[in-house]
Structure 1
Amino acid sequence: MSIDTTQGLRERVAIVTGAAGDIGRATVALLLAHGVRIVAEDINPEVRDLEQAGHIVTLVADVSEEATAKQAIKLAQEQYGGLDILVNNAGRTLNKSVADTSAQEWDQILAVNARGCFLHSREALRVMAAQEQGAIVNVASVVSVIGMAGTAAYAASKGAIAQLTKVMALEYGAHNIRVNAVAPGVVETGILNGIVADSRATLAGYGHLHALGRVAQPGEIADVIAWLASPRASFVTGALIMADGGYTAR
């Protein structure tokens, strides 16, 4: 008996936002290995390093801009003939209390994390509804469901993503479109670059907060994203999958 190692993803077309970051790159690499054709989007010009003729086309743009969402969908259609999967991964963090968070900082975090997810999902849903199939995977966080001091804007944005996920799943289930979110615990990435001296070492130090005694690697989150995007998760929609090493089990 042959085993399909592509999870039914071969020849699918996906958009991955935040593709230049650690989780984004891991997701792009995994989807590519499964035979997916990809639009890799990021505001960081380093996303161009992912370009592969016939397999990955890149877009350098601001995820929070309405024109960017429309451009990403248009690019997928022009390059690959359609759109099957959207991964809303782009995100920024801010480690400040409510009292110390400026209105500008609040707006910036909500714009990238929540507004960017909304805009890309809206444009993708219009295409997916017309073709009566599709999958959207949003990257939320454990702070979508629990409180954590010093994460006011970030937690609010991720909570918005979790709720938007449920609403879209209800609104578009009849069109055979599944919408889910993955909620990582702490992941060893460079997201704190410019905030602390060593982002990866700092984040790795939070392992004790997880039941498994360690933080996640980007590829472990990418595995969950790919599964949710695949036909293997055909009866999963409106779900918030806790990929948190047992963080929220407390």
Structure 2
Amino acid sequence: MARFAGQRALVTGGAAGIGLATARALAAEGARLALLDIDAARLEAAAAELHAAGAEALPILGSVAGPEPVAEAFARIDARWGGLDILVNNAGVIGKRAALDLTDEDWARVMRINLDGVFFCAREAGRRMVAQGSGAIVNLGSIYSLVAAPERLAYCASKAAVAAMTKVLAIEWAAHGVRVNAVAPGYVETDLIGAAVRAGELDTAPLVRRTPVGRLARPEEIARAILFLLDPANAYVTGHVLAVDGGWTAYGYV
């Protein structure tokens, strides 16, 4: 039997990259998918692809960067399926700027999406999951949840906070049958990384050299780690931040 047959899942930032790879993997295991994203064209294309593969998919155009749009998204899921079993908090942004050049707007944007958005979605999901006595949440952290890098103050701070939030929620909700974990990916071959490369903000060659396995991750590899943490067979795993980074955070030589 499919691991997630009939389960109701929400993937934020689900129209591309890690989010879409995760949605595909969940759909292949029988889940019903809600995709929340701000890119209308990609969102419709992703939903159409999942439908064509035989999955039930609900595209929701909206942002995680405020409590009102998040509440509206969850209301649509309630109207469709009557609740939620799985949340993958994937939506996020990157930013590269020296700390002294970081504007209030830069800081607020990263925090609003990477941190507040995770909280808003987790809170809405938690209310439903605690009430029903079951559920699983995976938050997307980063290698920069675990280690630091220059010119990424807002990003590192937001992702480190996601790791701490994951642990607090796991502790609070464990007795209610709700598990909360996080994955901490290294650099992944996504459109987000591609855009940073095209903008001259990122050079992947030194990143590949720095990674012990000698390459960037593929979105599907991160998706498989997410499904491991969501799997009911791993019911004793909660409050964990799983590095999926090709050895990046383990490597401390030169």
TM-score (norm 2): 0.91
Amino acid at match of 2:81: Y
Give 3-state SS (helix, strand or coil) of 2:11's partner: strand
Residue correspondence of structure 1 range 151-190 to structure 2 within 5 A: 151-190=152-191
Give the CA deviation at 1:217.
0.4
What is the DSSP-based 3-state SS (H/G/I as helix, E as strand, rest coil) of the residue aligned with 1:235?
A: coil
> Mapping of 1:75-90 within 5 angstroms?
75-90=76-91
**How many residues are treated as equivalent by the alignment?**
244
For residue 192 of structure 1, report the CA deviation from its aligned partner: 3.7
Aligned 8 A contact 1:187 1:204 in 2: no
Displacement of 1:21 in angstroms is 2.5
1:16 equivalent among 3, 11, 32: 11
Deviation beyond 6 Å, 4+ runs, structure 1? none
CA distance in 2, matches of 1:27, 1:194: 21
State the secondary structure of the residue aligned to 2:191. Answer: coil
The match for 1:217 is: 218
Q: Distance in 1 between matches of 2:5 and 2:210?
A: 37
| SS of structure 2 residue aligned to 1:113 | helix
Deviation track 1:34-86 (CA, whole Å, cap 9, x = no partner) reads 11001100111121212256700111111111112212222222212320000
Which residue identity does 1:69 align to in structure 2? V
Secondary structure of the 1:212 match is: coil
Runs (5+) with no aligned partner, structure 1: none
- Cα separation, partners in 2 of 1:163 and 1:85, compared to 1, 3 Å: same
Taking the aligned partners of 1:13 and 1:26, their CA distance within structure 2 comes to 17
- Residues 114-145 of structure 1 deviation map (CA, whole Å, 9 limit, x = unaligned): 00000000011000010000000000001111
Bigger proportion of residues as helix: 2
- Residues of 1 paired with 2:218 and 2:193: CA distance? 15
3-state SS of the aligned residue for 1:96? coil
User: Within the alignment, does 1:68 sit opposite 2:56 as a pair?
Assistant: no
The equivalent of 1:136 in structure 2 is 137
Q: CA deviation at 1:198?
A: 7.4
Contact 1:37 1:80 in 2 (8 A): no
In 2, distance between residues paired with 1:92 and 1:114?
10
Superposition CA RMSD, Å: 1.7
Unaligned runs of 5+ in 2: none
Residue 113 of structure 1, CA deviation? 0.5
Give how far 1:194 is off. Answer: 4.5
Q: Is the 8 A contact 1:39 1:58 kept in 2?
A: yes
Cross-structure match for 2:39: 44
TM-score, normalised on structure 1? 0.93
The answer on whether the counterparts of 1:204 and 1:215 sit within 8 Å (CA) in structure 2 is no
Identity within the alignment, %: 38
Whole-Å Cα distance in 1 between the matches of residues 59 and 106 of structure 2?
A: 28
Letter of the 2:112 partner, please give it: A
Counterpart AA for 1:174? A
**Helix, strand or coil: the match of 1:99?**
helix
Question: SS of the counterpart of 2:63?
Answer: coil
Q: Give CA deviations for 1:134-193 in whole Å, capped at 9, x if unaligned.
A: 000000001111111111111111011000000000000000100000000111111145
The structural deviation recorded for 1:205 is: 5.4
**Helix, strand or coil for the counterpart of 1:90?**
coil
Return the alpha-carbon distance in structure 2 between the equivalents of residues 109 and 41 of structure 1.
18
Q: What is the one-letter code of the residue matched to 1:108?
A: R
Does the 8 Å CA contact 2:143/2:186 hold for their aligned counterparts?
yes
| CA deviations over 1:82-119 (Å, ceiling 9, x no partner) | 20000000000001111111110000000000000000
